């Protein structure tokens, strides 16, 4: 008992540490509040261990390195870049779409100073923030008007609230989907004040199902894209063009929640389940909603395009202000959309499209390069390039698989779980997956500029037996 007490009181005081040479060095490079907190926490941690009867190493070397670790933690960002070695291009947990260089540059340029966000340069007076993205969307896809809000969930919510509050929105039972987390069509609809009128069955819905549901309470016919699942077998749904005809006949707007919303015809790439926004617009749908950070490859956002009078109503909804986007998002959107003026270039310059549609031999070459460099470092592991398949992710293209190549790492001195954990806690964290006894580094989502980094991080982790 007496000994423990002595040890506790033998720990240096906060003041002593701050006045010593180490303290002075920390104070010269880090904010005083951070150093102070780190020193206090480190001392408190050791006191607690001693009190609990543990016998921690109380040498000043250990104490100082604990303090230094805490200082670094306290002064580094919580949100930080990671290397995505999962092969999943639209990984919602890893920030979904990687922005194009042009989008990044535009965000920097617009945020560095003032901008004409809500200023009409021609008229010399107050303007509107939605005009910037509406202009390019009109140019690209011929949309009468457009509005961008915080995300597609907000786009759907706001549109429903504007067009179908206290009225019925007709939806096929086969389209009452849940898109990860908390976006469920019936729940969003309830929150928006629209009354759900389900028609048809899970696998089949016919035009006459919609027809019989139409009544004086109908505010909207809603179609929802089966983004993240597929109903196969004995199925039938009503083509958009027929819903459009029905809507026109009864003067009821038709809205299509497209989910991903791509602006390029993906059929040449073997993807037939994802109609382009242009295609859907041409069919005569009144409003289309889609995400900015799925296949479009832009910032988080929800795009509403379509009939001018309806968009105008949506814009005037008081809730529009609550989900409006900031100038950084608008800057990133406009630049991303500009890339689509030349679709062939967009496929190269928009990282999401580039990563999804890069030829397998390019991925293989990257995997081989990574594997060769790891072996050259003498990494303590069995390293081979393996074939694999990856998914698009982010609730997009559920039925598409992409052939890919991964570097399989089977460590010889540590367990594969240890390796995975160490990669996650590296200064530049690496997110990878484990298959059987191997850690797989999927080369599809690894950027060329990250290879050297990755080699260092993996070799370092493997050598820490
Ligand atoms: C992803 C998705 C949403 C939600 O979009 P967020 O931009 O993630 O809010 C809504 N509807 C469909 C059909 C989707 O696929």
Q: Is residue 258 part of a domain?
A: yes
Q: Tell me: do 412 and 395 sit in the same domain.
A: yes
Q: Tell me: do 241 and 293 sit in the same domain.
A: yes
Q: Tell me: do 249 and 306 sit in the same domain.
A: yes
Q: Tell me: do 327 and 414 sit in the same domain.
A: no
Q: Is residue 2 part of a domain?
A: no
pLDDT at 204: 87
d(CA 151, ligand 1 centre) in Å? 8
pLDDT at 228: 67
* Domain of residue 182, residue span: 101-349
Q: Tell me: do 284 and 423 sit in the same domain.
A: no
* Entry field: residues in the chain: 465
d(CA 369, ligand 1 centre) in Å? 36
Q: Which residues line ligand 1 (CB under 6 A)?
A: 151-153, 156, 179, 183, 224-225, 227, 257, 259, 291, 302, 395
Tens digit of each residue's pLDDT, the chain (465 residues): 444 455 666 789 999 999 999 999 999 999 999 999 999 999 999 999 888 988 888 788 899 999 999 999 999 999 999 999 999 999 999 999 999 999 999 999 999 999 999 999 999 999 999 999 999 999 999 999 999 999 999 999 999 999 999 999 999 998 887 776 678 888 889 999 999 999 998 888 999 999 999 999 999 999 999 866 667 677 778 899 999 999 999 999 999 999 988 999 988 888 888 899 999 999 999 999 999 999 999 999 999 999 999 999 999 999 999 999 999 999 999 999 999 999 999 999 999 999 999 999 999 999 999 999 999 998 889 999 999 988 888 778 877 888 999 999 999 999 999 999 999 999 899 999 999 999 999 999 999 999 999 999 999 999 886
pLDDT at 10: 77
d(CA 269, ligand 1 centre) in Å? 23
pLDDT at 453: 95
Number of structural domains found in the chain: 3
- pTM of the full predicted structure? 0.91
Indicate which residue's Cα is closest to atom 14 of ligand 1.
259
Q: Is residue 5 part of a domain?
A: no
CATH for 371: 3.90.1150.180
Q: Tell me: do 212 and 326 sit in the same domain.
A: yes
d(CA 191, ligand 1 centre) in Å? 16
Q: Tell me: do 69 and 87 sit in the same domain.
A: no
């Amino acid at each position: 008992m007496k000994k423990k007490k002595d040890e506790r009181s033998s720990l240096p005081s906060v003041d002593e540490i701050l006045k010593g040479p180490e303290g002075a060095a920390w104070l010269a490079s880090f904010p005083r509040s951070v150093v102070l907190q780190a020193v206090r926490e480190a001392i408190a941690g050791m006191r607690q261990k001693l009190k609990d009867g543990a016998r921690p190493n109380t040498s000043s070397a250990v104490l100082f390195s604990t303090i230094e670790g805490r200082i670094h933690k306290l002064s580094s960002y919580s949100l930080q870049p990671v290397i995505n070695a999962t092969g999943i291009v639209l990984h919602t947990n890893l920030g979904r779409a990687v922005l194009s260089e042009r989008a990044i540059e535009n965000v920097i340029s617009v945020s560095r100073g003032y901008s004409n966000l809500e200023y009409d340069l021609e008229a010399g007076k107050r303007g509107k923030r939605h005009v910037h993205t509406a202009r390019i969307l009109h140019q690209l896809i011929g949309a009468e008007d457009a509005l961008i809000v915080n995300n597609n969930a907000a786009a759907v919510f706001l549109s429903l609230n504007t067009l179908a509050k206290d009225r019925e929105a007709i939806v096929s039972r086969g389209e009452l989907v849940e898109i990860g987390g908390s976006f469920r069509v019936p729940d969003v609809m309830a929150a928006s004040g629209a009354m759900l009128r389900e028609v048809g069955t899970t696998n089949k819905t016919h035009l006459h199902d919609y027809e019989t549901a139409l009544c004086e309470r109908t505010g909207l016919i809603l179609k929802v894209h089966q983004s993240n699942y597929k109903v196969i077998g004995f199925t039938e749904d009503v083509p958009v063009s027929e819903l459009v005809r029905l809507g026109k006949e009864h003067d009821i707007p038709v809205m299509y929640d497209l989910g991903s919303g791509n602006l390029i015809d993906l059929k040449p790439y073997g993807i037939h389940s994802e109609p382009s926004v242009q295609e859907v617009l041409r069919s005569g749908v009144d409003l289309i909603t889609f995400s900015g950070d799925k296949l479009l490859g832009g910032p988080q956002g929800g795009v509403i395009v379509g009939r001018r009078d309806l968009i105008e109503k949506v814009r005037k909804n008081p809730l529009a202000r609550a989900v409006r986007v900031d100038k950084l998002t608008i800057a990133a959107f406009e630049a991303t959309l500009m890339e689509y003026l030349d679709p062939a270039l967009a496929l190269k310059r928009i990282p999401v499209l580039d990563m999804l549609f890069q030829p397998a031999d390019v991925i293989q070459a990257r995997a081989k390069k990574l594997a060769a460099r790891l072996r050259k470092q003498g990494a303590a592991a069995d390293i081979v390039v393996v074939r694999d398949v990856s998914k698009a992710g982010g609730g997009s293209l559920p039925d598409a698989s992409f052939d890919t190549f991964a570097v399989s790492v089977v460590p010889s001195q540590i367990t594969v779980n240890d390796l995975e954990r160490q990669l996650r806690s590296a200064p530049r964290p690496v997110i990878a997956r484990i298959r059987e006894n191997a850690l797989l580094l999927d080369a599809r989502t690894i950027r060329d500029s990250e290879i050297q980094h990755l080699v260092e991080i993996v070799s370092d982790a493997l050598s820490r037996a």
